[in-house]
Amino acid sequence: MKRYLVLTGILTVTICYLPAMDLDITAQGGIGYSIVDIPASTDWNENYFEDWSELNYRLNIQSTWGFGDLRAGAELGYSWLYYYDVVVPPVPYYYYGYAGAFNIITLAEYRFKKAALQAGAGAYTFDDGTSFGIQASGTWRFQLRDPAMSIPLTIRADLIFGRALIIPVSIETGFSYRIRN
């Protein structure tokens, strides 16, 4: 009964304040570097690795809502984290592998005038399973002529707890639109 009352109270407060909330939709893309022990994150012996790259790319769309400086939201995205080539003897067998993950993250954001700090936690889904991860980022928004539109510049780091710890660090930019009530 107590849970029901608490959930009903939270829902009532949310519905009452919904007209005062504003909504931000942001689409971003970025590039960066992944800190990862690639042999530990794969099934291959480290002697077989011929080539690899920890360069990462990411695309995401975020929706945040709230009023004032404190906001909550969600993110959907895709990250290409690293790739590797292995050559297995005695007959050279070439294998190309990569780590790419779709992510869904819940977010909390605190805004200053043109800057924002953001933190979140969520699921990163790879080809071989899903891992838990957290992210933290700092954003500077360049306002356009229309006050509802801006260009965000974001520095972001994630910690993905899989078979091996993956830490992608990236710089992102894109487009943000605010719908005010």
Give me the average pLDDT of each 10-residue run along the chain (181 residues).
Answer: 57 55 90 87 74 89 87 93 82 80 93 92 91 96 91 96 91 92 61
Residue 15 pLDDT: 53
Q: Is the separation of the CB atoms in 152 and 166 below 8 Å?
A: no
Residue 50 pLDDT: 76
Cα 134 to its chain centre, rounded Å, is 8
Residue 39 pLDDT: 76
CATH topology of domain 22-179: Porin (2.40.160)
3-class SS of residue 113: coil
Residue 82 pLDDT: 87
Does the pTM of the predicted model rise above 0.75?
Answer: yes
Residue 175 pLDDT: 96
Residue 40 CB partners (closer than 8 Å, separation 6+): 163, 164
Taking the C-alpha atoms of residue 30 and residue 133, their distance in angstroms, rounded to an integer, is: 18
At 175, which amino acid appears? F
Residue 124 pLDDT: 94
For the chain, the distance separating the N- and C-terminal CA atoms, rounded to the nearest angstrom, is 34
Taking the C-alpha atoms of residue 53 and residue 58, their distance in angstroms, rounded to an integer, is: 15
